[in-house]
Structure 1
Amino acid sequence: MMGVQGVLARISELQTQLSPNSAAASTITAANGKTFAGALASATGTTGTTSSGVTGQSIVDAAKKYLGTPYVFGSTNPDKGLDCSALVQRAYKDMGIDLPRTSSQQAKVGTKVDGLANAKPGDILAFNSPVDHVSIYLGNNKMIAAPKPGDEVKIQSVYEKPTHIRRVLSTDAAAGTAATTAAGAAGAVRPASLQNSSSLAGVPYADMFVRAGAKYGVSPKLLAAVAKVESGYNPKAVSPAGAQGLMQLMPATARGLGVKNSFDPEQAINGAAKLLRNNLKEFKSVDLALAAYNAGGGNVHKYGGIPPFAETQKYVPKVQKALAALG
C-alpha cells in the first residue's frame, strides 16, 4: 500500500507530466538562445549515458550541491525548490547527462543493478510499484534525496528495499575517480579507459582532459572546448592581459588553484578543471560557470547572470560551438 509520501510524490509526478511549462522551468538558456545543457548532451552523446570521465562520485558531488534545498513538488528550479526526480535529473544534467523528468522514467534508464549490495555511488534508487520516488545512492547504505513536502534535500539511510536500481554510468567510468586518485598525478600508468577517449580522438592533450575530468568531475569535452577557445590548444599562449598557457590562467588565479607553472599543459588542465568544478558548484549552471571562468565569479554575482561585457557575451557561444565541433 502506498504511503502518504508516495501519494504526494505521485501527485507531483502527474502534475509535472500534465504541465506544459515543466520542461521550460528546468531549461538554462545560453546567450544565443540555445540550451547549453542540450548542446553539451549533444556534443557528448549523453542522453541517458555517460561521457568519458564522468564518474559516480561526480554525480554524488553534484547532488550534494543541493543539500538544504526545500522540497517543492513539481519544481525543477533549485532557487525555488526541487522534488525527488528533479534532484536526480539536475545532478546528472550538471555533469552533462540528460535524464527523463519523472521518477518512473528514471527507473528505466541505464542498466539494471541486482540488489543494493551491488550498487555503486551515483546509481539511481527507485521505490515502490508503480515507482513514485527516486534518490541517488552514496554508498554505505546512504542516499541523497528530496524526500517529501515540508522537507529538504538531505542524506538518508536507505530505509527500504529499492524496487529498481539503475546504473547510468559505465563500470569503467564509475571506477575512474578511484583509479585516478590511486595513480596520483605523478605520471603513473592509468587504466586504459582513462588513457584515451574515442570522443576526443585527434584532440591535443586528450588523455590529460580525460584524467582531469575524472579527477574533478568535469566533462573532458568541456575542458577541451575551453582550451580550444582560450588558446587554440597552444600551451605557450600569452594574452595581452597576461593570461598564460593552454587554459589561459591569470597568474594570481593559477596560484590560488595550486598551479605552479601555467605553461605546463597537465598543471594547466588540472587547474582549469578545479576552477570549473568550483564554478559549477557555486553557480549550478554550466553557462554561468563559463562566464565566471572568463569574467570572474564576482562579476557574475554583480550582474546576476552573464556579465554585459562584449567578450564574455561572445565567450559562452564560442565554447558551445567548440563543443558541437567535438561531437
Structure 2
Amino acid sequence: MAEVSARMLAIQSQIAQTATRYGAGVGPTGFAGALQAAQKKAESAPGSAGTAGTSITERVENALAPGGPTGADVVADARKYLGIPYVFGGTDPRLGLDCSGLVQKVFEDVGIDLPRLVRDQRNAGTAVPSMKQAKPGDLLVFDGYEHIGIYVGNGRMLHAPEPGENVKIGPVYETPTSIRRVVPPEALQTSALSSADGLLRTAALRSSPHHAAGGAGSSISAVPAGVPFANVFTNAGSKHGVSPALLAAVAKIESGYDPGAVSPAGARGLMQIMPGTARELGVDPLDPYQAVDGAARLLRRHLNEFGSLPLALAAYNAGGGAVRRYDGIPPYAETQAYVVKVQNALRALGKDAR
C-alpha cells in the first residue's frame, strides 16, 4: 500500500482543482475518508467487485503488485559497478570484472541467472530487431570482439571495455550483432500505476455526486507540527493545489530544510532549484517563500502533465524532457533513488501527522 498512498496524494491534488467548479467538498474527513466511503459504496453496489470478494483496496494492491525487475532496474544496478577495473575472466567486483562477468553479476543482483560467457549470454531473452527498438537494460552483443554491454539509452551503453580500462558508460561504437531483451523496459512498469490510478479515480469520483474532494483552499495533506517552514508549505500547497506534505517531503530530501543550501551542480535553496528554472519561474531560490511557491507551481505542472506522483517527482529531479523521452522514470540511478526517497519521506510525514 505504500505506492497506493503516494498515488492517492497525486490524484487528490488533481481532484482538488475541480472542487470549485462543482462547488462541493467532502467535509473534514478529506480524501482518505472519501476513498473509504467510495470503497464501501462500490463494494455494496450490485455487481460490484466487492460482491465478488475483491475490494477496491485489494484491486489496487493487485495492480501495483511487483512483476519482476525492469530494464531500468538493470541499469540502476549496473551503475554501481562504474569504475571497477577490467580483469579478464573477472567475476568478483572486489577484484575486477570482464564484460560478461559484469553482465552476469548485474542480472544476478536483480534476481536473474545468466550464463557466464558471451557466447551463451547472446542467446538470453528475446531478440530486439534494431537499435531503434532498443530499451535501457537490453544486452548489446558484438560478436567480432566477443563483447557484451548493457544499453542505458541515448545511444550509450555500460560495459567493461578491455584491459587497462574500467567499467564505464560510453557510446554504442558500432551496430551490435544482436540485441537481447531479458527484462521488460520501464514503460511497462508504469502501466501498473496507470491501472491503479484508474481504480482510485473511480473510487474518488463515486464517493461524491459532485466529483469533488475538497475546496481549492482545503488542506490536502497536513504538515506535522514542528516541521520547518510548515506554514510556507501549507500556504503554497493550498494556493496551487499541491499536497503541502509533498512540498515538505521534497524540501527534506532536496536540502534537509536548509534555505541556504547550494549543491555542487548549482541548485539553490530550500527546494534546490537550478538558476535557469528559477528564472523561468520568476523566483529567488534562496528566499524560502518564493522557492516553495515556485516548486509548488512546478510540481503542479508535472502532476498535470504526467498524472502520476512518481513521474512528477522524476520530472522535478531530472526534467520533464527526460520523463517524456523514456516514457517513464528515466534510468538514472539518482532519479530512481530520489523518487523512492521523497515518497518514503512523504509517508513518514503522514505518520507524524496522525
TM-score normalised by L of structure 1:
0.47
Structure 1 or 2, whichever has the larger Rg, is: 2
The structure whose residues are more often helix, as a share, is 2
TM-score normalised by L of structure 2:
0.44
